């Protein structure tokens, strides 16, 4: 379960476009942040996606992906042209295909091939019509299947694209927009697949074109309801409306850490939270199996584009760090994490801090939260100062300066992580969470071969 939010230039304080997303997956489903350079491909070449192969295009763009380690595609990402996309699982009345392109595959293909948000929309819908969407979407929960919605942005525009099987509707964003694990497009939309309304009438989901409502006609009520997406979508939509015209990068980061209107940061208890929280915390196998395993905030200011990633799980315990698409490698942050603990991988190293924090979240989170916020504020200030200096630099010097800043931020964040981990592990829990919650996290940690010392 996930949430994606966007604000266009007429809604932000600095005139930029800002897109933000939490990726909610299984707790041990490690999240990669990876870059692929632009490339040219030979005629007749194919590309292997998660489950199927399709023809490759002649040229693909440089891309940044935030992705589950086992999936070819991504949960959110960007390309060198400034196109950024986040996807959501949606549950519909249309049948789920046994194989095809995952929504995450469709997103990566669009990033590789599209130079604008609208072009990315058409890439996705054309691939959807040709190959369909389908296949198992879960890491350990192989029975999980869903369709997809997408929030697609570039430095001047954004689109919402929502699908049900091969059917779809799209809406141009006017100022702010949020999507979650539900269809949100209703009576009006700007683009749609052929036969969208006629299919709904034929199925008996509505009586006429005048009666047609995309979300009402195509949604599966049961899974949509129990995803708790209504609360998350309303929360993020309300926040966007309340802050319209003054939305900032810092504000979007804070929204991704939001635990709801009744959850003050100082007293928040993940053990008592639910899937209605934008910053999601897993707690059991049935009703709370998803965890925010990675986050991205894209700051698109014309030709200056900064991508803020956590590269770690639990957004409320993580640090956003800047990365850039400039032809150079991403900062060193250890080997690509997989489904079991690797102390050299940043994602898994941070899991020690995250899971130790869960043993007494109010007390242990307070040990480093203010320092985290201050360090992150320093990163934002340094990135803004660099943005102001970039126009006077030559392209090569510009790329090198961006990469140097990014590497410094990752290095300082790593040093802070180690200090905070030692501090948390040395502080005895004052009040442990309920037994069943501790049992769930001990089980997850054993499955991942994570050291249990200092956790629960």
**How far, in Å, CA of 404 to CA of 40, rounded?**
28
Phi and psi for 311 in degrees, rounded to 5?
Answer: 60, 15
Judge contact between 398 and 390, C-beta under 8 A: yes
Rounded to whole angstroms, how far apart are CA atoms 335 and 275?
31
Other CB atoms within a 10 A radius of the CB of residue 16 amount to 22
d(CA 389, CA 398): 9
- Written as six digits, the tokens of 119 are 């072009």
- Of the listed 2, 66, 74, 409, which one is catalytic? 2
Sequence-ordered list of residues with C-beta below 8 angstroms from that of 280, at least 6 positions apart, any chain: 1, 22, 24, 273, 290, 291, 292
Instruction: Give dist(CA 379, CA 174) in Å, integer.
Output: 30
Active site residue 316: no
434 CB-side CA count, 13 A: 10
Q: Identify whether the C-beta of residue 2 lies closer than 8 Å to the C-beta of residue 31.
A: no
| Residue that the structure tokens 């200030």 belong to | 381
The set of catalytic residues is 2
């Amino acid at each position: 379960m996930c949430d994606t939010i966007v604000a266009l230039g007429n809604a932000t304080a600095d005139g930029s476009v800002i897109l933000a997303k939490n990726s909610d997956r299984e707790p041990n489903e490690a999240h990669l942040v990876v870059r692929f350079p632009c490339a040219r491909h030979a005629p007749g070449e194919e590309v292997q996606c998660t489950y199927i192969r399709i023809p490759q295009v002649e040229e693909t763009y440089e891309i940044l992906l935030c992705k589950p380690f086992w999936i070819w595609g991504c949960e959110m990402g960007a390309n060198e042209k400034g196109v950024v996309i986040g996807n959501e699982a949606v549950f519909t009345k249309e049948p789920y295909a046994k194989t095809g392109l995952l929504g995450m595959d469709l997103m990566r293909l669009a990033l590789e091939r599209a130079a604008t948000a609208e072009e990315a929309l058409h890439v996705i819908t054309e691939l959807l019509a040709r190959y369909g969407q389908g296949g198992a979407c879960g890491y350990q929960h192989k029975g999980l299947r869903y369709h997809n919605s997408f929030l697609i942005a570039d430095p001047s525009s954004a689109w919402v694209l929502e699908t049900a099987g091969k059917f779809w509707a799209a809406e141009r964003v006017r100022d702010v927009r949020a999507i979650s694990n539900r269809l949100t497009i209703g009576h009006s939309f700007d683009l749609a697949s052929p036969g969208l309304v006629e299919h709904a009438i034929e199925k008996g989901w509505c009586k006429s074109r005048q009666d047609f409502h995309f979300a009402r006609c195509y949604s599966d009520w049961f899974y949509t309801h129990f995803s708790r997406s209504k609360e998350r979508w309303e929360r993020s939509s309300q926040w966007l409306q309340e802050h319209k015209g003054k939305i900032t990068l810092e504000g979007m980061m804070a929204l991704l850490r939001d635990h709801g209107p009744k959850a003050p940061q100082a007293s928040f208890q993940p053990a008592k939270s639910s899937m209605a929280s934008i910053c999601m915390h897993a707690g059991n196998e049935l009703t709370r199996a998803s965890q925010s395993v990675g986050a991205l905030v894209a700051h698109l200011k014309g030709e200056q584009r900064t991508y803020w990633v956590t590269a770690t799980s639990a957004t409320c315990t993580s640090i956003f760090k800047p990365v850039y698409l400039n032809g150079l490698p991403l900062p060193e942050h250890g080997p690509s994490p997989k489904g079991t603990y690797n102390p050299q991988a940043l994602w898994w190293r941070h899991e020690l801090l995250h899971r130790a924090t869960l043993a007494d979240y109010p007390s242990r989170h307070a040990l480093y939260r203010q320092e985290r916020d201050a360090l992150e504020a320093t990163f934002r200030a340094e990135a803004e100062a660099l943005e102001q200096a970039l126009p006077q630099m030559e392209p090569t010097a510009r790329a090198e300066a961006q990469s140097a800043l990014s590497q410094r931020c990752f290095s300082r964040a790593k040093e802070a992580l180690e200090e905070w981990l030692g501090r948390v592990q040395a502080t005895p829990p004052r009040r442990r969470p309920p037994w069943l919650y501790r049992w769930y996290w001990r089980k997850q940690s054993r499955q991942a071969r994570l050291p249990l010392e200092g956790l629960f």
